């Protein structure tokens, strides 16, 4: 190819780019013949139902995940920052001004909090109770027996499959709400929604595996972010000296 021919090609390309830029600016478009799915994992081209199926499958197959944000359950609002995998999870939960740590290894659930938490939790250590006993639990990992109501109440926050199965289902008729960029991670995502957003929205990554990135639950029931998919983390039982048996040591009113 001659230098003259190359020059003509470059000028033509520059002219096309200039015209494209003018059209984009004047009409508010995102680009000239730009494919928003170019260079992605391709799920953006699927139907909303297929995207939901793909992302639930990817989430279920991942070895681990970090989940953070807010969720309303049982009429109470909780702030979560949990790391989860198949055999348990660990992290922090906050509710009604109180904060505590959860740790589950296999079937064994531990709850760690300060004395103030135990003095108020379900009224078990309220006025007239053994404050000294509550103080003994301060900063300790309290073993929660599987038959105790607290086990059912809190263990769900440490159960990866249970949480994701319940959270990643949108309600109502599914649709797509276009391509977006996640404000926290900068990932390109495709957003799907239930009943035009009233049934919740879910942002799904267009980069690599189609993992969930951000969920806005229906009915103002919370907003959650997902990250660290597949990243291994330590999950071990606490030392014996840091553990108190719930059934024998928890103060009662």
| Domain definitions of the chain by residue range | 1-31
Give the pLDDT confidence score for residue 4 in this predicted structure: 43
Give the pLDDT confidence score for residue 115 in this predicted structure: 87
Give the pLDDT confidence score for residue 130 in this predicted structure: 58
Q: What is the pTM of this model?
A: 0.80
Segment 116-121 long-range contacts (CB within 8 Å, at least 24 positions apart): 118/250, 118/251
Give the pLDDT confidence score for residue 16 in this predicted structure: 41
State the virtual CA torsion across 237, 238, 240, 244 in degrees, nearest 10: -100
For residue 153, how far is the Cα from the chain centroid? 19
Sign of torsion over alpha carbons 240, 158, 161, 54: negative
Give the pLDDT confidence score for residue 34 in this predicted structure: 81
Residues with pLDDT less than 70, the chain: 1-33, 121-130, 133, 246-253
Give the pLDDT confidence score for residue 8 in this predicted structure: 43
Give the pLDDT confidence score for residue 7 in this predicted structure: 43
């Amino acid at each position: 190819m001659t230098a003259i021919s190359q020059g003509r090609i470059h000028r033509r390309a520059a002219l096309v780019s200039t015209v494209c830029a003018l059209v984009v600016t004047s009409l508010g478009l995102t680009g000239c013949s730009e494919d928003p799915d170019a260079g992605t994992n391709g799920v953006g081209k699927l139907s909303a139902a297929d995207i939901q199926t793909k992302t639930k499958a990817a989430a279920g197959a991942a070895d681990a995940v970090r989940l953070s944000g807010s969720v309303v359950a049982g009429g109470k609002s909780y702030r979560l920052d949990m790391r989860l995998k198949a055999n348990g999870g660990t992290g922090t939960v906050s509710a009604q001004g109180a904060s505590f740590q959860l740790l589950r290894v296999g079937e064994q659930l531990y709850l760690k909090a300060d004395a103030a938490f135990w003095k108020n939790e379900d009224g078990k250590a309220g006025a007239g109770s053994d404050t000294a006993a509550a103080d003994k639990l301060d900063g300790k990992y309290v073993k929660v027996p599987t038959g105790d109501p607290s086990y059912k109440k809190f263990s769900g926050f440490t159960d990866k499959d249970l949480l994701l199965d319940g959270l990643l289902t949108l309600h109502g008729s599914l649709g797509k709400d276009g391509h977006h960029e996640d404000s926290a991670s900068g990932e390109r995502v495709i957003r799907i929604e239930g009943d035009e957003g009233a049934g919740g929205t879910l942002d799904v990554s267009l980069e690599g595996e189609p993992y969930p990135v951000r969920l806005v639950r229906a009915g103002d029931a919370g907003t959650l972010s997902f990250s660290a998919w597949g990243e291994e983390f330590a999950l071990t039982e606490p030392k014996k000296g840091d553990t108190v048996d719930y059934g024998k040591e928890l103060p009662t009113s």
